[in-house]
Amino acid sequence: MSSTLNFDAVIERYSGEIFSYLWRILNGHEDAEDCLQEVFLRAYRAFNRLNQEANIRAWLYKIATNTSISFRKKRIRRESQELYVDDDLASPEPSPSDRTESKERLRILMQAINNLPNRQRSALMLRKYQELSYADISEILSCSQESARANVYQALKKLRSMVSEQLSSLE
Amino acid sequence: MLDEKIFEQHVAAWLGEEGSKKGEGEGLMSALDAIYASGPDAQRTLRAQEELCMKLAETRSPRLYYGVMQKTPIGPIFIVVGDRGVVAIEIGVKEAEFASRVGRKFKAVVVRSPERVAGVIKQLQEYFEGKRSSFKLNLYLDDLSHFQQQVLLATLDIPRGQITTYGEMARRLGKVQWARAVGQALARNPIPILIPCHRVLASDGSLHGYSGGRGIETKEQLLLLEGAL
């Protein structure tokens, strides 16, 4: 029974940030909610086997990363790589004349993010928006800290080149 | 090997370089921020957390399975089983009310499952056809008081076709003064028919009462079927 109580505390403490991570990885898509449930169901089933000393936050992020990758795969099969642009994500711009152009830029950027390898996208979101340490990210991605850093670096480098390529082809 | 701070400076420098060209470096970071920095809105997060808690509560609740035996001499019989045996039987009730009432009573998720109750229905079928005098099933009575369990289990010793009285039951349990308590324990029998409380009558031979189906009429039907009347 104590594990049930402890797991309630885990939900209370981490479900918000895990949801924001899934929202980012899944581009605000409506299946983020389903994915959150799947993550915590998996965690719940494995919770009793978890080492008392384990880094629960990193462990949850690891489950969330793996689950979100399979959700993305399912969605890609379902929507045949059609890009999902949520209006919530494409934030409104002040000037209406700029709106179309800036929306187009955001669309290009999101397309580029969608085309990143899963590990690079995860590493970028974990570092930049979830604000995890490279020690945690290396645990989540089961790699060395150097490799975790390299994934963030490569993600940014790739985004830059994909976005500038697209933009120059527009001009 | 890069130190974390140095690495961040590298990334920042690289982005700055791009930014200084009025290129996509800084622009990239602020565009990323425009998309991702805010995160999901608070209401959506709250709703997602509520849905999550509901889903988990459902997973944690025990599951019970029920099925209906439609054609019997005493009307439809609803059977509830759990992992540890038969939990409840109700006679002639409405399905929707029945399922939600059982769910509330046992704090369980109640799922219709003809397969899970097939074994019970088979034995009941044989019982109604006169081919079976006792049931070989696990009965789940753990939620009841020790006294009520004793009373209910004692009725299993009354063979098909025979009857006894509340007073006699009390005497058998060594509690001569407790005939009324025995009556109350039997009135709250959660598994009628399988636990044959219908074989216990008042000391004057009257049928007294029956909580299942159409009450005394159902009790009489069962006793007639068993050849006790």
* Rounded-to-integer distance, Cα B156 and Cα B135, Å: 9
Q: Which residues pair with B69 in a beta bridge?
A: B77
What is the enclosing helix (H) or strand (E) of A108? helix A96-115
Percent of chain A topping pLDDT 90: 54
pLDDT > 80? residue B7: no
B1 contacts A156? CB cut-off 8 A: no
Q: Would you state the pLDDT for residue A38?
A: 95
Report the range of poorest mean pLDDT among A5-19, A73-87, A126-140.
Answer: A73-87
Q: Would you state the pLDDT for residue B9?
A: 53
* Rounded-to-integer distance, Cα B32 and Cα B51, Å: 29
Instruction: Select the more confidently predicted residue: B194 or A77.
Output: B194
Q: Which residues pair with B109 in a beta bridge?
A: B63
pLDDT > 50? residue B80: yes
A125 contacts B36? CB cut-off 8 A: yes
pLDDT > 90? residue B92: no
- Chain A residue with minimum CA distance to B59: A41
CA distances from B17 to B9, B12, B27 (A): 12, 8, 11
pLDDT > 70? residue A97: no
What is the enclosing helix (H) or strand (E) of B68? strand B63-69
Q: What is the CA radius of gyration of chain A?
A: 18
| Spatial CB neighbours of A97, under 8 Å, sequence gap ≥ 6 | none
CATH 1.10.1740.10 domain residues, chain A: 1-91
Query: May I ask the CATH architecture of the domain A93-171?
Result: Orthogonal Bundle (1.10)
pLDDT > 80? residue B12: no
**B1 pLDDT tier (thresholds 50, 70, 90):** very low
Query: Which residue in A19, A20, A160 is closest to B28 by CB distance?
Result: A160
Query: B111: which 2 tokens?
Result: 């799922």
Q: Which of B193, B197, B222, B223 is catalytic?
A: B197
Residue range B3-16: mean pLDDT, rounded: 49
Other beta carbons within 10 angstroms of residue A118's beta carbon come to 15
A110 contacts B36? CB cut-off 8 A: no
Average pLDDT, whole number, for chain A? 84
Residue range A114-132: mean pLDDT, rounded: 95
* Rounded-to-integer distance, Cα B52 and Cα A128, Å: 26
Other beta carbons within 10 angstroms of residue A60's beta carbon come to 23
B85-91 and B77-82 strand pairing: antiparallel
CA distances from A30 to A23, A24, A98, A109 (A): 9, 12, 28, 20
Q: Establish whether this prediction's ipTM goes over 0.95.
A: no
At B168-192, the pLDDT tens digits run: 999 999 988 898 999 999 999 999 9
Mutate to test the interface with B, among A11, A13, A17, A20 (most CBs of B within 10 A): A20
CATH 1.10.10.10 domain residues, chain A: 93-171
pLDDT > 80? residue A125: yes
A28 contacts B28? CB cut-off 8 A: no
CB pairs under 8 A between A and B: 92
B109-112 and B85-91 strand pairing: unpaired
Instruction: Select the more confidently predicted residue: B1 or A160.
Output: A160
Closest by CA to B14, choosing from A129, A154, A105, is A154
* Rounded-to-integer distance, Cα A85 and Cα A133, Å: 29
Question: Which residues in chain B are contacts of A159 at CB distance < 8 A?
Answer: 28, 32
Report the range of poorest mean pLDDT among A113-117, B37-41, B106-110, B125-129.
Answer: B106-110
B60 part of contact set with chain A, CB < 8 Å:
yes
Residue range B136-141: mean pLDDT, rounded: 94
* Rounded-to-integer distance, Cα A75 and Cα A67, Å: 12
Interface of A with B (CB under 8 A): 4, 11, 15-16, 19-20, 23-24, 28, 32-33, 36-37, 40-41, 44, 88-91, 105-106, 109-110, 125, 128-129, 133-134, 146, 149, 152-153, 156, 159-160, 163-164, 167
Q: Which residues pair with B139 in a beta bridge?
A: B86
CATH topology of domain A1-91: Rna Polymerase Sigma Factor; Chain: A (1.10.1740)
- Residue for token digits 């976005």? A163
Question: Which residues in chain A are contacts of B39 at CB distance < 8 A?
Answer: 20, 23-24, 129
- Chain B residue with minimum CA distance to A150: B7
Residue range A61-84: mean pLDDT, rounded: 79
B164-165 and B109-112 strand pairing: unpaired
**A132 pLDDT tier (thresholds 50, 70, 90):** very high
Q: What are the DSSP calls for B6-66, one per residue?
A: HHHHHHHHHHHHHHHTTSHHHHHHHHHHHHHTS-S-HHHHHHHHHHHHHHHHHHHS-EEEE
Closest by CA to A113, choosing from A28, A21, A27, is A27
Instruction: Select the more confidently predicted residue: A78 or A3.
Output: A78
Question: Which residues in chain A are contacts of B4 at CB distance < 8 A?
Answer: 133-134, 149
| Catalytic (active site) residue B197 | yes
Percent of chain B topping pLDDT 70: 89
